[in-house]
A and B are shown apart, each in its own frame.
Chain A
């Protein structure tokens, strides 16, 4: 092994300054050339070092209060006839059809490239915004289209889009989470200031920033702090895995607020003290995830979302979990739909591999657990729409979508064997994406 001189230092070496010897060995090894992956490795190293660079948050537009209502507008609760029913209503059915058609025709074909380039094509995002996905939580008085709360509708749309691709679905639905949060809990002024932007043509990228980068993160105990300074709040902390972080013009940030406890704050991207660090992850790569670093970001007292009620905060956490379940249900269904024709066509020992119980039973499990995930998610969402308690149902849906969803992702790869491990088939992407359902907090909302 030779020692590197200053002149032939790679970007990676300069940026990271750790694990140099290992890197060097890797770079010098002809193994890379033999298997022709050198280019890829060098690019990966470059990406790895990018984490060291920070960029400013997006410049962002000026949000100005349009006509302001005397009191905050709220969507109505949905009313049930009191009968057990697994069928979506006509309006929801319409959204589902539109979502599914779009996911099949546009999202799935774009998924591989979006994943490898870590970018969802802007025209795709614009088309999804046209479907109305970002304004489901905007009250009618402020230009929204849904008279009643739309948790079930949001779940159904998330499911339909994630059947196309979870990363793209995340990129598309993330701004809607901010609109829904403001529509559910915002003051009249906050609603008038921010919601109109989400009903227009040029919907801003926005992020509901709750997750923090540490093991055993508990969203009820954020380490991001908001301290009082006169009339202002001053925020410090870090938030993880925000979709399209560098583009975000608006954040709703969870912080432990002095004298209140965990609460949400509406923060515009132009605020001093905000920086974005790239944060690529195992999956959700089409969403170009990034980390928000907050250092002494001063915001006005009026930035506290709504009245900062602890109940609202917990509800936000639970609603976000339901939204992630919706995505997991859609991706799990994608696995099942992909695996069935594969195991029926793939021949081994003179017959389709699906003629063997070892393979067939694994497919049964995908179907059974996927159905359980779906029903539990629908139940939680429909309880939310009717204004019933749903903390238990959300927690249960999350457990199912985390544990069974991941098992489905894993078995999807397993059933394709070595073919499942390569990018020629989408199951390896779904494997990476499905891990997110049990990890993500916030970010999406129903």
Chain B
């Protein structure tokens, strides 16, 4: 039966996450935007709390820990609301607080998500409870992740990694870094594997931390891997070089894209709520039953933005719900990411415009959200990459036909 509301059983979780956002994130939001590269120590205690929430619960957490796909067959089975949905709901609330701080949450990195999604039981045991960052992008390979040049060579019981990685979120703070590398550059994407590298590995050298437009609470590290040796068991998933291998790696993104979409939804809502309040102070309120074009232009604009927000929110929840029910959701995950990412940018910038100097000035957070938002339309697959994935799926095209 169609019901597109937050499930009753997840309301406590959402409200808890909202309290965290209100009490912990918002008060330090500006502080770490200004103090780029300093570690938000306030998050340590919170991270322990979230670990507790994640522990053995079907509800998942507020972060990126629980994105394993359900194996049950979606059709005919009982409708399930599981960890994908609860995680998305938690992330929305936390990013309503501050997306940069969420990205800095210990043990909630995208690397954790990758490990949770594809690791063997042994690997889960070995690396569980640690903070894992994700290193994919290279100076010459962004969206085209099949073009990565970092190599991994088997030498006895170890792989030896060599290459350069950029844009590693929380790379310096994490315990582990999931590094994408190729076993054989001549074999293309089939040879690309991910490897877990401990942060204190002597072959892993921090080059620098980036200075950024937004999400400045979250550190972005660049590394050089020089004869970086990891045990054979550090390879995530199947070590065989075969055609389906890369697809498996990419499937991780079907699970993580709704999470990034959720981040965008959270930031969008923050900006809309603040703008609604500011407009009301200025004497403009949205009346939902009066036609948009018969209202104040600012109200009509607000309604337009709220409508795009709603579409993003629903697409995001749908993608997560499909994952919970074992339905293939690659299409819907990319739709959600595309819609939520661009909506976040358009809405946060629109809110700054509507609020004028109040929106643009640093006394309020609106201008910060308008800077934070841009990355959400870029990482985990840019807007253009999402459109490409959606188009290939809808048109039934391969990546060689539609490039």
Contact = CB atoms under 8 A, between A and B. Distances in A.
Interface in B311-361: 311-312, 314-315, 317-318, 321-322, 331-332, 335, 338-339
A84 B81 contact: yes
A438 to B, nearest CB: 9
B402 A354 contact: yes
B228 to A, nearest CB: 37
Q: Which of B3, B338, B386, B397 has the most CB of A within 10 A?
A: B3
B3 A83 contact: yes
A152 B310 contact: no
B294 A216 contact: yes
Interface string A74-94: 000010111111111100100
Contact of B4 (A220, A382, A400): A382
B206 interface: no
Given A367-B335, A396-B306, A85 B3 contact: yes
A375 B390 CA distance: 18
B387 A361 contact: yes
Contacts of A217: 291
A355 B401 contact: yes
Contact of A403 (B307, B388, B392): B307
Q: How large is the interface on A (under 10, 10 to 19, 20 to 34, 35 or more residues)?
A: 35 or more
Contact of A392 (B288, B338, B395): B288
Given A85-B3, A382-B4, A400-B311, A360 B288 contact: no
A300 B35 CA distance: 74
Q: Which 9 A-B pairs have the closest CB atoms?
A: A372-B311, A82-B8, A360-B391, A375-B314, A395-B288, A399-B307, A364-B390, A379-B4, A364-B387
Q: Which of A83, A217, A218, A391 has the most CB of B within 10 A?
A: A83
Nearest to A315: B289
Given A375-B318, A379-B5, 11 more contacts: A80-B1, A83-B8, A86-B322, A355-B401, A363-B394, A382-B1, A392-B288, A393-B310, A395-B288, A395-B303, A396-B303
A373 B315 CA distance: 10
A395 B394 contact: no
A393 B85 CA distance: 21
Contacts of B317: 84
Interface string B141-158: 000000000000000000
Interface string A344-372: 10000000001101001101110111011
Contacts of B387: 357, 360-361, 364-365
Interface string A382-426: 110010000111111101100110000000000000000000000
Q: Which of B293, B306, B310 has the most CB of A within 10 A?
A: B310
A150 to B, nearest CB: 12
B7 interface: yes
A355 B395 CA distance: 9
A219 to B, nearest CB: 8
A107 interface: no
A443 interface: no
A368 B338 contact: yes
A340 B314 contact: no
Contacts of B318: 86, 371, 375
B2 A396 contact: no
A363 B290 contact: no
A394 B339 CA distance: 20
A391 B289 contact: yes
A399 B292 contact: yes
A142 interface: no
21 contacts: A83-B9, A83-B81, A84-B7, A84-B321, A85-B1, A86-B318, A86-B321, A87-B1, A89-B1, A152-B2, A220-B290, A318-B288, A354-B395, A357-B391, A361-B391, A364-B391, A368-B315, A368-B390, A372-B312, A381-B2, A382-B4
B46 interface: no
Contact of A88 (B2, B6, B322): B2
Q: Which of A314, A365, A373, A395 has the most CB of B within 10 A?
A: A395
Contact of B288 (A85, A152, A336, A394): A394
A168 interface: no
B338 A340 contact: no
B391 A372 contact: no
A360 B310 contact: no
A85 B308 CA distance: 21
A185 interface: no
Contact of B293 (A80, A216, A354): A216
Contacts of A386: 3
A378 interface: yes
B79 interface: yes
Contacts of A367: 331, 335, 390, 394
B23 interface: no
B362 interface: no
A333 B3 CA distance: 21
Contact of A87 (B7, B9, B79): B79
Contact of A354 (B81, B384, B397): B397
Given A395-B303, A396-B307, A82 B2 contact: no
Nearest to B331: A367
Contacts of B283: none
A60 to B, nearest CB: 32
Contacts of B322: 86
Given A357-B388, A363-B391, A378 B290 contact: no
Given A85-B2, A344-B395, A382-B2, A360 B306 contact: no
A322 to B, nearest CB: 12
A310 to B, nearest CB: 11
B238 interface: no
B314 A84 contact: no
Q: Which of A87, A152, A399 has the most CB of B within 10 A?
A: A399
Contacts of B401: 355
A170 to B, nearest CB: 20
Nearest to B312: A372
Given A371-B315, A375-B314, A84 B5 contact: yes
Contacts of A89: 1-2
Contact of B289 (A220, A369, A373): A220
A376 interface: yes
Interface in A192-233: 216-220
Nearest to A376: B310
B364 interface: no
Contact of A364 (B291, B292, B338): B338
A89 B318 CA distance: 17
Contacts of B7: 82-84
A375 B85 contact: no
Contacts of A375: 4, 311, 314-315, 318
A363 B402 CA distance: 13
Nearest to B335: A368
Interface in A87-115: 87-89, 92
A364 B335 CA distance: 8
A364 B336 CA distance: 12
A86 B4 contact: yes
B402 A218 contact: no
Contacts of B79: 81, 83, 85, 87
B276 to A, nearest CB: 12
Q: Which of A343, A376, A383 has the most CB of B within 10 A?
A: A376
Given A84-B5, A89-B1, A368-B390, A376 B307 contact: yes
A332 interface: no
Contacts of B335: 367-368, 371
A166 interface: no
